[in-house]
Amino acid sequence: MPDEITRVDYYMGAVPNKPGEGAKVLAALKAAGVNLVACLGYRKSAKIAEMILAVAENTPALAKAVKPAGLKLGKKCKALLITGEDRMGALAEGGEKLGAAGISVVSLHAVAAGAGRFGALLTVDPKYLKKAAKVLGA
């Protein structure tokens, strides 16, 4: 079965680097019925943590839902969500295709999802997004 490639919107935002701050954001999204397709969080400094939230639909609801939780979102960005059967070299296959097409990867976050599946959030320079999606088989 081939990998599934989906164009998604994502936002980056900052929250205080304190216990429970990210959980507040996630609870607000749950309450608003926003289904995330990817979420990353990491410490940016001693006082600030950064979250990356990706959605395939209902983007306006995401922006509205996180305000009361204290997350200030940056501008909307685009990425490719790649999901498929977990196998040796799954990411290498896509990387080789992108490299051969002259497209550099800006960021890649991937995880084995269990039950033989994997998922990855891939960003490229916005001017190459459409070409990258085509090269990867979207």
pLDDT tens, residue by residue, 43-59: 999 999 999 999 988 78
Position 121 pLDDT exceeds 90 = yes
Strand partners, 19: none
The mean per-residue pLDDT over the stretch 106-133 comes to 95
Question: Are 15 and 69 members of one domain?
Answer: yes
Question: Are 59 and 40 members of one domain?
Answer: yes
Contact 24, 16 (CB under 8 A): no
Structure tokens at 28: 């607000």
Poorest-confidence range of 28-37, 65-74, 103-112? 65-74
- As a three-state string, the secondary structure of the chain is CCCEEEEEEEEEEEEECCCCHHHHHHHHHHHCCCCCCEEEEEECCCCEEEEEEEECCCHHHHHHHHCCCCCEECCCEEEEEEEEECCCCHHHHHHHHHHHCCCCEEEEEEEEEECCEEEEEEEECHHHHHHHHHHHCC
Our count of domains for the chain comes to 2
Residue 2, in any domain of the structure: no
Domain boundaries, position 89: 78-136
pLDDT tier, 36 (very low <50, low <70, confident <90, very high otherwise): very high
Question: Are 82 and 45 members of one domain?
Answer: no
Give the list of residues 6+ apart from residue 78 with CB closer than 8 angstroms, or none: 7, 8, 9, 10, 123, 126, 129
- Position 54, amino acid: A
User: 98: domain CATH number?
Assistant: 3.30.70.260
CA gap 98, 25 in Å, rounded = 34
Could you say which of 74, 93, 124 is where a domain stops? 74
* Radius of gyration for the alpha carbons in the chain, expressed in angstroms and rounded: 16
Question: Are 14 and 64 members of one domain?
Answer: yes
Residue 3, in any domain of the structure: no
